[in-house]
Each structure stands twice: as structure tokens, then as C-alpha cells.
Amino acid sequence: MARSGMKRGKWTLSFDPGLKAFLVKAAKRRRICPVTLLEEIVKEKFNPYGHTDVKDSVAYVRMLRRRSPGRSDQGFLKEIREWQRSASS
């Protein structure tokens, strides 16, 4: 597999040991490198268009659906269709 053109710089970060342990444990659960998990968290936090970096679309829609429990399924689907129309124009 070819390496990307962007060269990664090495950084040293120091932060709370409890937070570090939590990050390492969460990364092990996902079976990814802790640095990768940290990058994903930062991208998610600072990316205003978070939907463009969605890795699992089904899980993303489920998460959105759980955030709006008072809304009917029809209303939720209607909002998605309107968003798709506005995005395609």
C-alpha cells in the first residue's frame, strides 16, 4: 500500500494520566491505535461538516435518530429528503 503524500510530524502531548488511560482503553476496544482515535476525536470536534467523515453510516443515522426521540419517523425522513434536495442543488 502506498504511503500518503502528507508527511506526519511527531508530537509529544502531555495530559491527565486518567484521560490517557481512558483513551488507550477505548482504542484497544476499537482495535485501533490510540493516536488514530485521538485524531478522529479532534476531527469530529473541529470539522463543521462532520457527516463527510462518517465511517459507519448506519451507526451515524441511528445516533442522529436517538438524539431526536420526539420526532416521528416520517418527519425524520422528510428532513433527510429536504436536506438531500438542498445539497444536490
**pLDDT tens digits in sequence order for the chain, 89 residues long:** 455 556 667 777 787 889 889 999 999 999 999 888 888 888 777 766 666 667 777 887 788 788 877 888 888 888 878 877 876 65
| pTM beyond 0.75 | no
Q: What is the DSSP string of 4-72?
A: PSSPPPP------HHHHHHHHHHHHHHTS-HHHHHHHHHHHHH-TTGGGG-S-HHHHHHHHHHH-TTS-
Question: Domains of the chain: which residue ranges?
Answer: 15-53, 54-89
